[in-house]
């Protein structure tokens, strides 16, 4: 799994994260999102998109994940 970009946004009391990147399989993306959810630092990770593409002759799955970020005191 690779990450191409990471964006953060805060509006009021909300903090959001947007990750874009590529992986070799949909399963890898799902496992990463599961790890995010279980870490206690991310709130409701959502897959915005995942699509197959070819980069330098290699098939990859491009993706975008958005998630809320929990403040330290909110983390489990």
Place of tokens 């799955």: 61
Q: Which domain holds residue 11?
A: 2-69
- pLDDT digit string (tens) for 11-62? 777 889 999 999 999 999 999 999 999 998 999 999 999 999 887 888 999 9
- pLDDT digit string (tens) for 1-11? 999 999 998 87
- 74 inside domain: no
CATH code, domain with 23: 3.30.1660
Kindly report whether the global pTM for this prediction surpasses the value 0.75. yes
If you count them, how many residues does the chain have? Answer: 76
- 19 inside domain: yes
pLDDT at 75 over 70: no
- 76 inside domain: no
- 58 inside domain: yes
- 75 inside domain: no
Q: What is the pLDDT of residue 34?
A: 96
């Amino acid at each position: 799994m690779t990450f191409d970009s990471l964006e953060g946004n805060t509006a009021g009391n909300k903090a959001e994260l947007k990750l874009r990147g590529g992986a070799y399989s949909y399963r890898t993306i799902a496992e990463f999102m599961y790890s995010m959810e279980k870490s206690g630092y991310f709130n409701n990770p959502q897959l915005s998109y995942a699509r197959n593409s070819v980069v330098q002759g290699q098939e990859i799955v491009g993706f975008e994940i958005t998630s809320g970020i929990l403040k330290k005191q909110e983390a489990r």
